[in-house]
Amino acid sequence: MRDTRSDRAYTSVWFILLLCGSMLLSTAVTTCSAHAQDLPPLPAITEACAPELTTGRRAEISVGGAAGIWFAMPVARCLTSNLEALPLYAERVAQLQLRIEAGGALTLILREEVTLAERQAESAAQGLEHAIRIAREAEEDRDRWYRQPLLLIGLGVVLVIALEVTIVLLLHELE
């Protein structure tokens, strides 16, 4: 005879462990996606500077024997804004590197938590199996032939009859 309560308990333990694992995974995914979305946009520097100018964008000049390049003012403004955006890009790279490092640390922590959860699940499963084994042994011990109520009642009746016969025989000898 199988004990369905122990089977249900075993199934419940695994269900709880599965539920906790999925909650842990969803928390990690939510945290990582939230960190990835909170960075402000950067100004674009890949666009061509002053595309409306088709001629006269730059010219090579020489002033006092020193060679140089002349830029049209819209092109110079665009190049200046691109140069001003470079520190923002450097900061973004530093932020992303920190996030990568934090993500690596988070990954290590999550791996340790998963390992710990697997150990706990294994320990819980072993404990549950031990409890099931003890319950089955107790049930088998309860059902042994010498523990049957009818046997004990019959033994009691036989002892009472033997005691009565002994008392009757002793009373006959005393008379």
Quick one: pLDDT at residue 8? 63
pTM (predicted TM-score): 0.39
- CA atoms of 171 and 175, how far apart (whole Å): 6
Structure confidence by residue, pLDDT tens digits, 47-60: 777 777 777 777 88
Quick one: pLDDT at residue 30? 61
What are the counts of helices (DSSP H) followed by strands (DSSP E) for the chain? Answer: 3, 2
The two tokens of residue 127 are: 């404990």
Q: Average the pLDDT over 151-169 and give the result.
A: 92
Contact 57, 76 (CB under 8 A): no
* Kind plus residue range of the DSSP H or E element containing 96: helix 73-142
